[in-house]
Structure 1
Amino acid sequence: MKAVRFHEYGEPDVLHYEDVDLPEPGPGQVRVRVAATSFNGVDGNIRAGFMQGPMPLTLPHIPGLDVAGTIDALGEGVGGREIGDRVVGFLPFVDDGASAEYVLAPAESLAPAPEGIPLADAAALPLVGLTAWQALFDHAGLKAGQRILISGGGGAVGGYAVQLAKAAGAHVIATGSPRSVEQVKAAGADEVIDHTATEVTTAVTGPVDVLLNLAPIDPAEYAALAGLVRDGGVVVGTTVWMPAPADEERGVRAVDVYVRSDAGQLAELVARVDRGALTVDVSERVPLADLASVHARAAAGALPGKVIVLPATA
Structure 2
Amino acid sequence: MKALILKRYGRTDQIEFADILRPTIKPDEILVQVHAAGLNPIDYMIPKGTFKPILRFQLPATMGSDLAGVVMEVGSRVTRFKPGDSVFASIFDLGTGALAEFAAVPESAAAIKPENLDFEQAASIPMVGLTSWQALKVRAGIKPGQKVFIPAGSGGIGTFAIQLAKHLGAKVGTTTSTDNVALVQRLGADVVIDYKKQEFENVLRDYDVVLGTVRGDAIEKSLRILKPRSRVVSLIGPPDAAFARARGMNFFMKFVFGLMSGKIIRKAMKRGVEYSFLFVHPDGRQLAEIGELLSTGRILPVIDKVFPFDESKEALAYLEKGRAKGKVVVQMGNT
Deviations along 1:203-254, one digit per CA (max 9) or x if unpaired, are 22x31111122112x32x4222212110111111111247565522332101
Query: Which residue of 273, 287, 309 corresponds with 1:288?
Result: 309
Query: Which residue of 223, 226, 229 corresponds with 1:226?
Result: 223
1:116 aligns with 2:116: yes
* Rounded Cα–Cα distance in structure 1 between residues aligned with 2:136 and 2:211: 8
Q: CA deviation at 1:90?
A: 0.9
Deviations along 1:163-214, one digit per CA (max 9) or x if unpaired, are 111111111111111232211111101111111211111222x311111221
* Rounded Cα–Cα distance in structure 1 between residues aligned with 2:295 and 2:320: 33
* Rounded Cα–Cα distance in structure 1 between residues aligned with 2:325 and 2:211: 22
Higher mean Cα deviation, 266-275 or 75-84?
Answer: 75-84
* Rounded Cα–Cα distance in structure 2 between residues aligned with 1:92 and 1:41: 12
The residue that corresponds to 2:248 in the other structure is none
One-letter amino acid of the counterpart of residue 211, structure 1: V
Contact 2:110-2:284 at 8 Å conserved across structures: yes
Partner secondary structure for residue 77 of structure 2 = coil
* Rounded Cα–Cα distance in structure 1 between residues aligned with 2:233 and 2:295: 28
| Structure 1 alignment gaps of length 5 or more | none
Contact 2:39-2:330 at 8 Å conserved across structures: yes
Identity %: 31
Deviations along 1:66-112, one digit per CA (max 9) or x if unpaired, are 01011001122212311001111111414221101100010121111
The residue that corresponds to 2:318 in the other structure is 297
One-letter amino acid of the counterpart of residue 275, structure 2: A
* Rounded Cα–Cα distance in structure 2 between residues aligned with 1:307 and 1:298: 7
* Rounded Cα–Cα distance in structure 2 between residues aligned with 1:258 and 1:225: 20
1:273 aligns with 2:270: no
Higher mean Cα deviation, 170-179 or 127-136?
Answer: 170-179
* Rounded Cα–Cα distance in structure 2 between residues aligned with 1:235 and 1:203: 18
Contact 1:130-1:259 at 8 Å conserved across structures: yes
After TM superposition, the structure 1 = structure 2 runs for residues 239-250 of structure 1, keeping only pairs within 5 Å, are 239-241=236-238, 243=261, 245=265, 246-250=267-271
TM-score, normalised via structure 1 length: 0.94
1:264 aligns with 2:263: no
Q: CA deviation at 1:304?
A: 5.0
Q: CA deviation at 1:303?
A: 4.2
After TM superposition, the structure 1 = structure 2 runs for residues 97-176 of structure 1, keeping only pairs within 5 Å, are 97-176=97-176
* Rounded Cα–Cα distance in structure 1 between residues aligned with 2:271 and 2:126: 35
* Rounded Cα–Cα distance in structure 2 between residues aligned with 1:197 and 1:19: 50
* Rounded Cα–Cα distance in structure 2 between residues aligned with 1:74 and 1:207: 50
Partner secondary structure for residue 61 of structure 2 = coil
After TM superposition, the structure 1 = structure 2 runs for residues 184-199 of structure 1, keeping only pairs within 5 Å, are 184-199=184-199
Contact 1:13-1:292 at 8 Å conserved across structures: no
* Rounded Cα–Cα distance in structure 2 between residues aligned with 1:289 and 1:269: 30
Tell me how large the CA RMSD over aligned residues is: 1.7
After TM superposition, the structure 1 = structure 2 runs for residues 88-103 of structure 1, keeping only pairs within 5 Å, are 88-103=88-103
Partner secondary structure for residue 227 of structure 1 = helix
- Return closer, same or farther for 1:279/1:32 CA change in 2, 3 Å cut-off: same
After TM superposition, the structure 1 = structure 2 runs for residues 211-222 of structure 1, keeping only pairs within 5 Å, are 211-216=210-215, 218-219=216-217, 221-222=218-219
One-letter amino acid of the counterpart of residue 207, structure 2: V
Higher mean Cα deviation, 10-19 or 46-55?
Answer: 10-19
Contact 1:12-1:296 at 8 Å conserved across structures: no
* Rounded Cα–Cα distance in structure 1 between residues aligned with 2:222 and 2:77: 50
* Rounded Cα–Cα distance in structure 2 between residues aligned with 1:291 and 1:89: 19
* Moved beyond 6 Å, runs of 4+: none
Partner secondary structure for residue 212 of structure 1 = strand
Contact 1:147-1:208 at 8 Å conserved across structures: yes
Q: CA deviation at 1:130?
A: 0.7
| Structure 2 alignment gaps of length 5 or more | 240-260
Partner secondary structure for residue 5 of structure 1 = strand
Partner secondary structure for residue 132 of structure 1 = helix
Contact 1:153-1:214 at 8 Å conserved across structures: no
Contact 2:56-2:95 at 8 Å conserved across structures: no
* Rounded Cα–Cα distance in structure 2 between residues aligned with 1:250 and 1:191: 23
Q: CA deviation at 1:42?
A: 0.5
